């Protein structure tokens, strides 16, 4: 028996769902093959993953159509635990699924549940850890692992049970660039022996395409667009997938060009991004050492031309849980100025201090040393932690990564109105925002009932209600497809119409071209402050960091002149990574 997965007209409608989440999937996948599932948000990719693992229909209510045979078992009638022995699934957010405190216990958890005898577990746990590149991690605490390590732990936990089929549902969506790199680096080993069939759903297509034998492309309604070998699917369907808002591998971009000769630039360009004043297109940074951090990549005066809306000065925040050593500071003597109307990208690995910097700017996290000031009036900087709520809302707004946590109103209209200044004109203001952000038809709905993209729009809209001079955003494109990412950039442009500055913490290189400036953090320290082109040319992170790998390819796409991408082109590169 050589067929691993066989679908005939398979579809699924969640209970209470208005339309099928997935329909008409026809697919035959041989044992040992690697399948990549492509499609825009809402195309049913995760539903397919849940169906392969038997969680649909057995753990989640709804109605199936057609048939789905996995490893010879019909998913409609096979109990989930039996299917679960053949199929392992890795989810987006590794931290959401880790049950136990120690690495070895966590890997063994699935084996215990399946009743493996002790001696087999003892032999298998180190093998599975080795496959995921975690040898020697047995006694480590799971909570102290990095995001990439946690995700590889989840993969080890799945591989341990020797499933015939492994499903990876956006395994790097929640990871920072180093985490992604570490997962992709071990994906090769996992697919290499062809012993297991792998189904992968992933936005970072360039990194996975090399492993892939077949592609299943889904459309925005959850229907099957195409399936076949990557080259074939790329040639015939790249344009349609792009049109529907899905990410496509950069190698497929040539198909777009061929199909539309004089068309659409391939992605946003630095120069063309709306509202970006004479960008970053290099004069290469002068390399003046920063007076405080003495990092050659930090240029003082990068924003000197603009009046300042916020300034943090030698801010240090101590980590209350750490006793001593290098991890002692969440932020370590960071100084930064944000100019009026400027959009600053805040980048760096997880734990570098990006979110903490945003919270410090908002006055929520108090610095141990140093000072934070936001401009309440032109030229007057005040400590945000000492402002009253009514005062601070006039100056700045923060859009959290999880929009749901920020909801304070019962309806979309209430939600926007809640932060508005009382007085005449409020209704018009709210109606205007509902309109500008495409929320008018949801005005009376409960914010929790909106889709993730709509929730994001609502949280940005409600942050704009007092036209703050500083808008702080934490990972606004996290887990989004291309269309949604473009929509966020449009949102940011819309939010900037009032002239406010924006600081955007992000792992997403695709946001960079729309920014005026990049601020890079690493382990709490400022390692870069300068123009976007300079950052892309020489990201101050380790050589294996996708900011470097993806950054270069991306820079070409973004329209940065090739001369500036050549290593060391005018920008002092830090050899050997971390300073």
Contacts to another protein from residues 452-511, by CB under 8 A: 462, 466
**Residues 6, 32, 64, 102: which binds another protein (CB under 8 A)?**
102
Stretches 87-95, 366-374, 428-436, 558-566: which one binds another protein (CB under 8 A)? 87-95
* Enclosing H/E stretch for 65: strand 62-70
Overall size of the chain counted in residues: 579
In angstroms, the CA 222 to CA 37 distance is 12
Strands 369-377 and 343-347: unpaired
**Residues 37, 38, 108, 352: which binds another protein (CB under 8 A)?**
108
**Residues 264, 325, 405, 441: which binds another protein (CB under 8 A)?**
405
Stretches 30-38, 69-77, 211-219, 358-366: which one binds another protein (CB under 8 A)? 358-366
Does residue 563 touch another protein according to CB under 8 A?
no
Does residue 100 touch another protein according to CB under 8 A?
yes
Q: For another protein, how many residues bind (rule: CB under 8 A)? A: 72
Tell me the per-residue interface mask from 426 to 455 with another protein, x by CB under 8 A, - otherwise: ----------------------x-------
The SS3 call for residue 403 is: helix
Tell me the per-residue interface mask from 297 to 336 with another protein, x by CB under 8 A, - otherwise: ----------------------xxx--------x------
Does residue 168 touch another protein according to CB under 8 A?
no
Strands 308-318 and 329-339: antiparallel
**Residues 418, 440, 443, 467: which binds another protein (CB under 8 A)?**
418
Under 8 Å between Cβ of 213 and 229: yes
Whose tokens are 């929509």? That residue is: 487
Largest CA distance in the chain: 75
Minimal distance in Å, beta carbon 441 to another protein?
Answer: 23
Does residue 93 touch another protein according to CB under 8 A?
yes
The SS3 call for residue 162 is: coil
**Residues 66, 97, 289, 479: which binds another protein (CB under 8 A)?**
97
Measured CA to CA in angstroms, residue 127 lies from 108, 132, 190 at distances of 11, 9, 12
Question: Looking at beta carbons only, is 94 or 520 nearer to another protein?
Answer: 94
Question: Looking at beta carbons only, is 118 or 562 nearer to another protein?
Answer: 118
Does residue 397 touch another protein according to CB under 8 A?
yes
Measured CA to CA in angstroms, residue 110 lies from 54, 82, 99, 115, 121 at distances of 16, 13, 10, 9, 10
The SS3 call for residue 128 is: helix
Within the chain, how many helices (H) and strands (E) appear? Answer: 18, 20
> How many angstroms from the chain centroid is the CA of residue 335?
26
**Residues 118, 123, 288, 449: which binds another protein (CB under 8 A)?**
118
* CA dihedral sign, ordered 505, 510, 513, 519: positive
Does residue 361 touch another protein according to CB under 8 A?
no
Under 8 Å between Cβ of 8 and 66: yes
Of 451, 470, 450, 471, nearest to 460 (Cα)?
Answer: 471
Does residue 73 touch another protein according to CB under 8 A?
no
In angstroms, the CA 246 to CA 238 distance is 9
Under 8 Å between Cβ of 163 and 86: yes
**Residues 74, 232, 404, 427: which binds another protein (CB under 8 A)?**
404
Minimal distance in Å, beta carbon 390 to another protein?
Answer: 5
Minimal distance in Å, beta carbon 15 to another protein?
Answer: 14
Minimal distance in Å, beta carbon 181 to another protein?
Answer: 23
The torsion defined by the Cα of 312, 294, 530 and 331, in degrees rounded to 10, comes to -40
Stretches 121-129, 288-296, 375-383, 475-483: which one binds another protein (CB under 8 A)? 121-129
> How many angstroms from the chain centroid is the CA of residue 533?
21
Minimal distance in Å, beta carbon 193 to another protein?
Answer: 23
* Enclosing H/E stretch for 7: strand 3-14
Does residue 140 touch another protein according to CB under 8 A?
no
**Residues 81, 188, 283, 577: which binds another protein (CB under 8 A)?**
81
Question: Looking at beta carbons only, is 91 or 535 nearer to another protein?
Answer: 91
Under 8 Å between Cβ of 472 and 358: yes
Minimal distance in Å, beta carbon 147 to another protein?
Answer: 13
Minimal distance in Å, beta carbon 512 to another protein?
Answer: 25
Does residue 158 touch another protein according to CB under 8 A?
yes
């Amino acid at each position: 028996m050589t067929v691993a997965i066989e679908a005939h007209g398979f579809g699924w409608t969640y209970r209470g769902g208005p339309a099928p989440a997935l329909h008409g999937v026809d697919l035959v996948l041989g044992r040992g093959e690697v399948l990549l599932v492509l499609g825009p948000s809402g195309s049913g990719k995760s539903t397919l993953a849940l169906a392969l693992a038997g969680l649909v229909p057995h753990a989640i209510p709804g109605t199936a159509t057609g048939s789905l045979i996995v490893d010879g078992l019909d998913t409609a009638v096979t109990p989930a635990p039996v299917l679960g022995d053949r199929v392992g699934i890795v989810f987006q957010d590794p931290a959401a699924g880790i049950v136990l405190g120690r690495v070895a216990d966590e890997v063994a958890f699935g084996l215990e549940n399946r009743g493996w005898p002790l001696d087999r577990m003892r032999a298998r746990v180190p093998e599975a850890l080795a496959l995921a590149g975690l040898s020697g991690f047995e006694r480590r605490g799971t909570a102290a692992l990095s995001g990439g390590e946690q995700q590889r732990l989840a993969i080890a936990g799945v591989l341990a049970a020797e499933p015939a089929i492994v499903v990876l549902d956006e395994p790097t969506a929640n990871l920072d660039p180093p985490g992604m790199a570490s997962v992709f680096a071990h994906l090769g080993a996992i697919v290499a022996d062809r012993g297991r069939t792998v189904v992968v759903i992933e936005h970072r297509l360039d990194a996975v395409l090399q492993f892939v034998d077949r592609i299943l492309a889904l459309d925005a309604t959850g229907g099957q667009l195409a399936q076949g070998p990557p080259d074939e699917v790329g040639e015939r369907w790249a344009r349609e997938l792009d049109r529907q808002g899905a990410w496509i591998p950069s190698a497929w971009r040539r198909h777009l060009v061929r199909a539309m000769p004089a068309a659409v630039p391939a992605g946003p360009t630095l120069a063309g991004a709306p509202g970006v004043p004479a960008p970053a297109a290099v004069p290469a940074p002068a390399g003046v050492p920063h007076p405080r951090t003495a990092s050659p990549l930090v240029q003082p005066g990068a924003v000197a031309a603009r009046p300042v809306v916020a300034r943090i000065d030698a801010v240090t925040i101590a980590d209350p849980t750490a006793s001593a050593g290098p991890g002692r500071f969440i932020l370590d003597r960071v100084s930064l100025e944000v100019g009026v109307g400027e959009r600053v990208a805040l980048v760096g690995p997880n734990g570098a201090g990006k979110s903490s910097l945003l919270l410090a700017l908002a006055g929520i996290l108090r610095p141990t040393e140093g000072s934070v000031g936001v401009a309440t009036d032109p030229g007057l900087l005040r400590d945000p932690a000492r402002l009253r709520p009514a005062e601070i809302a006039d100056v700045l707004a923060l859009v959290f990564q999880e929009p749901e946590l920020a909801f304070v109103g019962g309806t979309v209209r209430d939600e926007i109105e809640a932060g508005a200044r009382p007085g005449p004109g409020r209704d018009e203001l709210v109606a205007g925002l509902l309109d500008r952000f495409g929320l008018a038809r949801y005005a009376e709905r409960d914010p929790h009932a909106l889709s993730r993209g709509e929730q994001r729009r609502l949280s940005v809209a409600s942050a704009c209600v007092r036209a703050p001079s500083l808008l702080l955003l934490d990972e606004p494109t996290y887990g989004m497809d291309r269309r949604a990412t473009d929509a966020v950039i449009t949102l940011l442009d819309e939010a900037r119409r009032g002239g406010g500055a924006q600081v955007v913490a992000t792992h997403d290189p695709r946001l960079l071209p729309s920014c005026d400036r990049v601020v890079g953090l690493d382990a709490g320290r400022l390692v870069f402050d300068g123009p976007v082109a300079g950052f892309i040319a020489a990201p101050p992170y380790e050589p294996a960091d996708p900011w470097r790998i993806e950054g270069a390819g991306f820079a070409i796409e973004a329209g940065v002149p090739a001369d500036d991408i050549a290593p060391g082109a005018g920008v002092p590169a830090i050899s050997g990574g971390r300073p």
